[in-house]
Structure 1
Amino acid sequence: MITRLAGAFAVAALVASALVGCSTPTDPAEPTPLFTSEAQAFAAAEETYRAYVDALNQVDLSDPATFEPVFALTTGEANAEFRATFSQMHADEWVVAGDSRASLVEPVEWSNAERLITLAICLDVSQVTLTDADGISMVSADRPDTQSMLVSLVTVPSSATGFAITTFESRQGSPECD
């Protein structure tokens, strides 16, 4: 019995080593590029950002299912912030109305090595209102009608566009927002 088991293990080991020998090694430091040019990468990043704005405009804070398209277009820090913010707004029964609109989307930087792209954004939020459960505006009186920001996106091969938004930060300077 022991001899038969030892023989079975030996055959299994030979089959396993043969299969390992047939595999093609890949270098994780050299992944296949998703984009063939910087222009193609910027176009995909802009498409991702505009899809995000469309998804954001469809959010109904009373229906968490409407948050999912925003979550699908974000990752990392941005995704975590949206999850926390939308959950709290939903719990507090806030209401959002109106649409935002990207009035400017311009490329700033593409790092193929880091698989990171940065866009300069001007987002018109003048039509967006946010009220609490009592109907009191939660929008700061000094909120500018147009938000000027840098948006960073990382490549995500499983994304329909190849990118997901990872961070937002305010920006100053060129290009100027209206």
Structure 2
Amino acid sequence: MPGTIRRGADILRAADAVDNRVRRATARYRERMGRRLPIIVAIAGVLALAACAPETSAAPSPAPSVSFATDAEAFAAAEATYRAYVDALNQVDLSDPETFEAVYAWTTGDANANAREYLSALHASGSSVSGDSVVATFDAVSENESAVVGNACLDVRDVQLRDADGDAIVSPSRPDVQSFQVSFIPGSDGLLISAFEGGEASTCALLW
């Protein structure tokens, strides 16, 4: 009998250890996803998606250049592009990958790869998103013949991300307004978002 009791105690301890590891792994997953949420909903930053370009002997085409009459015109186009991108994000249904296409259409390069990686992972995991992001401000930073850069403050207070069990993934400490530096490069039909970087929190502090 004492041996049976000891074996039973050992089994319980082993089960507790497994349960604790699962809890820690779940907590780390939620923490990571909470940090990444703005770039999903604002989305961005994730595993790099390696794209293999077909081999060709032809010389690469020259990159398009930004061509606007004034800086103000360039920044207005960048803001319109960013707002269209956020509108597309607000229409995303994580259970329906077809709704991701409008997000991809406004992005290129790293921003496109990250969006594809994030949205595909969230779809596969059975996650769901609700609420809309709102562009609070968009300010000009720089413009040249190859790129336009702006600072965006995105209000995500109404956005919630949940896992397949319905549990919230977003960290309770997430700021209501997120700051991003957004880079744009010319595409065939206008500007496209090429990259996101986290902006200075103080940039949007007065909007919290």
Q: TM range, normalised to the smaller chain?
A: 0.7 to 0.9
What whole-Å deviation, never above 9, does each CA across 1:109-146 have from its counterpart, x for those lacking one?
1022xx21111110000000000110001111211110
How many residues align structurally? 146
SS at match of 1:143: coil
Q: Which runs of 5+ in 1 are unaligned?
A: 1-27
Which stretches in structure 2 are left out of the alignment for 5+ residues? Answer: 1-60
Distance between the aligned counterparts of 1:32 and 1:122, measured in 2?
Answer: 27
| Counterpart for residue 39 of structure 1 | 72
Partner of 1:170: 198
The amino acid across from 2:108 in the alignment is T
Letter of the 1:124 counterpart: D
Q: Identity of paired residues, percent?
A: 49
Q: CA RMSD in A?
A: 1.8
- Give 1:125's aligned residue: 156
Letter in 2 for 1:51: A
Specify the code of the residue in structure 1 equivalent to 2:123.
H
Inter-CA distance 64–39: structure 2 relative to 1 (3 Å threshold): same
Report the Cα offset of residue 176 of structure 1: 3.6
After superposing on structure 2, the runs of 4+ consecutive aligned residues of structure 1 that deviate more than 6 Å are: 28-32
Residues 149 and 181 of structure 2 are in contact (CA less than 8 Å); yes or no, is this contact kept in structure 1? yes
TM-score (norm 2): 0.66
Q: Give distance in 2, aligned partners of 1:134 and 1:30.
A: 46
1:7-156 aligned within 5 A = 34-112=67-145, 115-156=146-187
More helix by share: 2
Q: What TM-score comes out, normalization by structure 1 length?
A: 0.77
Structure 2 counterpart of 1:143, one-letter code: R
Distance 2:202 2:175 in 1: 17
